Amino acid sequence: MMCAQPLPPALSIHFQGPIDQLDMNISFDIAAPGVTGLKGPSGCGKTSLLRGIAGLHHFPQGYCRLGHEVWQDITVFLPPWKRPIGYVPQDGGLFAHLSVKKNLLFGMRFIVHKERFLHEIVDALRLQPLLERKTHALSGGERQRVAIGRALLTQPKLLLMDEPLSALDLDIKTDIISYIKEFLEKYKIPTLYVSHDAEELRMVATQLLDWRSIQKNST
């Protein structure tokens, strides 16, 4: 009788080398879907790590694997558009020449049942009054909500969130965290969530990574 092969980690990362004037040597596994909170001091390289996973940085050495999919190793480097990732950067990363609605629809090109799915996220993130506005006219908190909506609308295999709620008031932040957790649990999307807010991490994360625990000594 053959034994079942163990499932690979949901996300397995090792990055090593200089990026943005940092000499990084990072290694960790995320065992299963869920929200993994990442905490660490400012300037330590958390954003560079997320950009490496997204394929926006190319670390000289290491690997990046999501389940059985290899995105980077010694022979492979998939560009960002070939990685099924939803990415919410600190600045939102919205398209300035598009309206809010068109920014949201950009992530839905390959999603079925588009209208129902769009209405659900628009309502949950309170985006209805913003749909026809240009992104340059949005406040910081509004931009963050649009960026979160666009990332969720792609139904990604991996979600990366970099200080995604830093500009939001506590009341709306609490509601949005509740929705994000419900959405990610429903679709079983592993998520790496960076925040300086310890209370925010406590509310959203199913497990925590400390930067010191994943930063290895360079050899």
Query: Which of 42-46, 71-75, 110-114, 173-177 bottoms out in mean pLDDT, i.e. has the lowest?
Result: 110-114
Q: What is the mean pLDDT of residues 181-199?
A: 92
Digit-coded pLDDT (tens) for 85-134: 999 998 889 999 899 999 998 877 666 556 788 999 999 999 999 999 99
Q: What is the mean pLDDT of residues 185-208?
A: 93
Share of the chain above pLDDT 90, in %: 76
Q: What is the mean pLDDT of residues 189-201?
A: 94
Q: If pLDDT is split at 50, 70 and 90, which confidence band does 194 have?
A: very high
CB 177 within 8 A of CB 200: yes
8 pLDDT above the threshold of 80? no
CB 26 within 8 A of CB 73: no
Q: If pLDDT is split at 50, 70 and 90, which confidence band does 78 have?
A: very high
Q: If pLDDT is split at 50, 70 and 90, which confidence band does 16 have?
A: very high
CA angle 31–23–161, rounded 5-degree value: 45
* H-state helical runs in 24-139: 46-54, 100-106, 114-124
Q: Which residues pair with 161 in a beta bridge?
A: 88, 193
Burial class for 219, CB neighbours closer than 10 Å (0-12, 13-18, 19+): exposed
Q: How far is CA 8 from the centre of its chain?
A: 20
pLDDT of the residue at 59: 95
Nearest C-alpha neighbor of 88 from the set 193, 204, 200, 206: 193
3-state secondary structure string across 20-42: CCEEEEEEEEECCCCEEEEECCC
pLDDT of the residue at 31: 85
Cα→Cα distances 134→119, 142, 149, 166, Å: 19, 11, 15, 21
Query: Which of 29-33, 50-54, 69-73, 156-160 bottoms out in mean pLDDT, i.e. has the lowest?
Result: 29-33
Domains identified in the chain and CATH numbers: 11-214 (3.40.50.300)
pLDDT of the residue at 171: 86
CB 143 within 8 A of CB 127: no
pLDDT of the residue at 53: 97
Phi, psi of 118, rounded to the nearest 5 degrees = -65, -45
219 pLDDT above the threshold of 60? no
